[in-house]
Structures are given as structure tokens and as C-alpha cells.
Amino acid sequence: MTLNRGRVRWQCRRALLELDLVFTRFLDTHFDHLTDDQVADLESLLVVEDHDLWAMVNGSKPVSDDRWKEMVKLLRAG
């Protein structure tokens, strides 16, 4: 599996300020240590609309795909 980590990193830039702040911390702390499988899970999570993604990250909505649970946990951890 060949992933373009630069593209995934770019997709982490979000229009919603709260998410942008969360992803900035996440990228600084965790991104370089992710496995290819984790990056693939993150890439699939990034197709979620910002308000739904924010709801999953802040816990007001359950994580809708089991593959995303680990990424959401890392996003919450900062």
C-alpha cells in the first residue's frame, strides 16, 4: 500500500477552527509515528464532514466506524 503522507497531512487542514487546532496538535505529536494502516484509517476519516467529525472528536456523537476509533482517541489525546 502506497500512501502519500503529505497529501494526508494537507487534508488535516480543516475549515472548522476547533478541528484545525486539534489536528495541529495531533500532527505535531502523533503523525510521524503512525503506521501505514493508521494513516489509511486517518485518510478515510478525513472524508467526514467537519461538523460530524468534530462531534465524534468532542464525544457528542459516537464514532461511526470502528476503524476510526483509534484515530479519534489520538485526536482527543492531542
User: Going from the N-terminus, what domains does the chain have, and what CATH number goes with each?
Assistant: 11-77 (1.10.150.250)
Helix axes 36-45, 69-77, angle to 10 degrees: 90
**What percentage of residues in the chain have a pLDDT greater than 90?**
95
What per-residue confidence (pLDDT) applies to 60?
97
pLDDT exceeds cutoff 70 at 1: no
Predicted confidence (pLDDT) at residue 2 exceeds the cutoff of 70: no
Q: Are 18 and 56 in contact (CB under 8 A)?
A: no
Does 78 have pLDDT greater than 80?
no
pLDDT band at 58 (very low <50, low <70, confident <90, very high): very high
Looking at residue 3, its pLDDT comes to 76
